[in-house]
Amino acid sequence: MKKNDIYEIEITGMTHDGMGVGRVDGMAVFVQRAIEGEKVVAKIIKVTKNYAVARIEEWITTSPERTEPFCPVYKRCGGCSLQHMSYNMQLKFKHRVVTDNLERIGGFWGIQVSPVIGMDNPMNYRNKAQYPVGMGDNGPVAGFYARRSHIIIDSERCGIQHPASEKVKNTVLEAVKELKIPVYNEITGEGILRHIVTRVSYSTGDVMVILVVTDEKVPGLKKIIQKITREIPEVISIVLNINKRRDNVILGDKVRTVYGSDTLVDRLGHLKFHISPLSFYQVNPVQTVKLYNKAVEFAGLTGNETVFDLYCGIGTISLFLAEKAKEVIGVEVVPEAVEAATKNAVLNNISNARFYCGEAEKVVPELYNEGIRADVVVVDPPRKGCDEALLQTVVKMQPERIVYVSCNPSTLARDLKYLAANGYNLDKVHPVDLFPWTEHVETVVLMSKVKNQV
C-alpha cells in the first residue's frame, strides 16, 4: 500500500477520536470522518508500518446517522471532530469510548455504563474561548488553530461558543488593525498580542476579556479598552495576562486588571461563584450542573460526613457537597483558585468548607499524618489523572465511597483499576456530555469500600 492509492473500504469500527476504521489486506486503515457501517472509496494519505490513514473520495453507502456539519470551517478547524454525526450518535459513540476504556485498560469486562447525559440544545454552550492572534496573508487574524497545526483559521461564527465571545474577538481584532498593535509571531517571539481569551457568565450575561500579551506596556491600551466597553457593554472586566514564554502554554502567571472587576460571577444551580482569570471553571455551565448533581448523588451524604474534594478548582463541587456534609476539605494547586474558593464559600454563606493550596498528592498525606480522615473522597483531576501517591493515601484512609469525576476515560480506567485492586468496588459509571460535537467526554464514577475485608 502506498500514498494516493485508492481502495473501497468498509467501515467496521471507530477510533476514540472519531475516525472510521476499516481494513485493507489485513492492515488497519483510519478513514477521516467516516462512520461505522458506511462503505466508502478512500484515498490513502499516510502509510506507516502498522496502519494507514485515508480520506473519503466518495460514498458507496452512507450511514443514516450522517449529518451535514453546521460549521463552514469544520474540516480545517481543530476544535470539533464529530459534526458529521447526529447528536444521538455522538452520545452512543461516547458511551462506547467510556465502556471500551473501562474494559480494556481497567479490566472491568461487562461493566454497565449508564447512557450519556446529553444536552437538550447542544449549541453555543461554551463559556470560555481562547483565540490565538497572529499575522495572516491579509493582515492580523484571530480564530482557532487548524487541526494539528498552528495556522490560525478565522472562525467567522463558531456554533459552540457564546455569541459574546465572537463579538469580543472581532472587536479586539478591529482595534488591533486600527491601532496597528503588533501581533505575536510564534517563530521569532516578537510582537505583543498573543491570545484573546473570553469568559462569559451564562447566568448574568457579563463578560471577562483577558488579553494575553508579551509585555505589560500595550500601545493604545486605553483606546482598546474604550472600544471594547463602548461596543460591548456586557464586558465588566478586562485583564492583561503577561506571558513571555516561548512554548504553547496560553496563559502566563501574571495578571493585571485594567478595567472593572477582578473576577466574573456565575451561578450554577442555586450557588454563586467568583471566577478568577487563571482558575479552572467548567466550560459548559448547563451540563456542569447535571454533572455536579450526579457527583453529589453518588457521594450519598447524610450530614455526618467529612468529605475531601481533591482538585477542587474554585470550590464548585466542594460547595455543592458542603450543604449535605458535616465538613468539606478542598485541595487545589493554583493559589488564585484557592483564594476564589474561600471567597465563594463566604459568598454562599457556607461555613463548613475549608481549602488547602498544594498538590493533592502532597497535601493529602500530610492531612492523613495529622489524623484527618475522610468518609467520602471526591477527585476531579486534569487529563493525566491522579498521582499514584495520592491513590495510595486515599486507600489507606479507607473512605466509604470514592467519587471520581474524569475528563479522560483512559486515565480514569487506569486509576479505577488501582482502586479496584485495593479494596474498592466499581458501582456506577455515568458519562455526561460536556463537549458536544467534539470527541471529549466527562464521566462520574462511584466506587465503594468492599465490605468484610480481612
Residue list, annotated binding site for S-adenosyl-L-methionine: 282, 311, 332, 380
Q: Strands 424-432 and 442-449, how do they pair?
A: antiparallel
Applying CB under 6 A, among 36, 65, 332, 375 the residue interacting with ligand SAH is: 332
CA within 13 Å, CB half, 50 = 0
Question: Among 333, 338, 403, 444, which residue sits at the site for ligand SAH (rule: CB under 6 A)?
Answer: 333
Q: Hey, which residues does 128 pair with through a beta bridge?
A: 199
Contacts to ligand SAH from residues 364-393, by CB under 6 A: 380-382
Number of residues that bind ligand SAH (CB under 6 A): 19
In the complex, minimum distance from the CB of residue 179 to ligand SAH, in angstroms, rounded to a whole number: 34
The Cα–Cα gap between 301 and 396 comes to 21
- Whether residue 241 contacts residue 212, with contact meaning beta carbons closer than 8 Å, is answered with yes
CA distance 17 to 14: 8
Please check whether residue 446 is in contact with residue 401, taking contact to mean a CB–CB distance below 8 angstroms: yes
SS3 336: helix
State which residue, 66 or 324, has the beta carbon closest to ligand SAH: 324
CB atoms < 10 A from the CB of 190, how many?
Answer: 11
Question: Is residue 284 near ligand SAH by the rule CB under 6 A?
Answer: no
**386 tagged catalytic:** no
Selected binder of ligand SAH within 331, 391, 402, 403 (CB under 6 A): 331
Which stretches of 58-114 are DSSP H helices?
Answer: 87-104
Of residues 286-315, which lie at the interface with ligand SAH (CB under 6 A)?
311-313
Nearer to ligand SAH, 59 or 368 (CB): 368
For residue 203, what is its C-alpha cell? 447566568
Q: Report the nearest approach of ligand SAH to the CB of residue 287 (Å).
A: 12
Contact (Cβ atoms closer than 8 angstroms) between residue 282 and residue 252? no
Among the listed ranges 79-87, 163-171, 327-335, 416-424, the one in contact with ligand SAH (CB under 6 A) is 327-335
Binds ligand SAH by CB under 6 A, chosen from 237, 241, 276, 316:
316
Query: x-or-dash pattern for ligand SAH, window 180-199, by CB under 6 A?
Result: --------------------
* Whole-number Å distance between alpha carbons of 38 and 9: 9
**One of 224, 319, 337, 413 touching ligand SAH (CB under 6 A):** 337
Q: What's the half-sphere exposure (Cβ side, CA atoms, 13 Å) at 294?
A: 23
234 binds ligand SAH (CB under 6 A): no
Nearer to ligand SAH, 59 or 280 (CB): 280
Could you tell me which stretch among 108-116, 124-132, 251-259, 355-363 binds ligand SAH (CB under 6 A)? 355-363
Chain positions 243 to 282 lying near ligand SAH, rule: CB under 6 A, are 280-282
Give the single-character DSSP code of 118.
-
Task: Catalogue the E-assigned strands of 71-154.
Answer: 128-136, 139-142, 144-145, 152-153
Residues that bind ligand SAH (CB under 6 A): 280-282, 311-313, 316-317, 331-334, 337, 359-361, 380-382
- Catalytic positions, written as ranges: 407
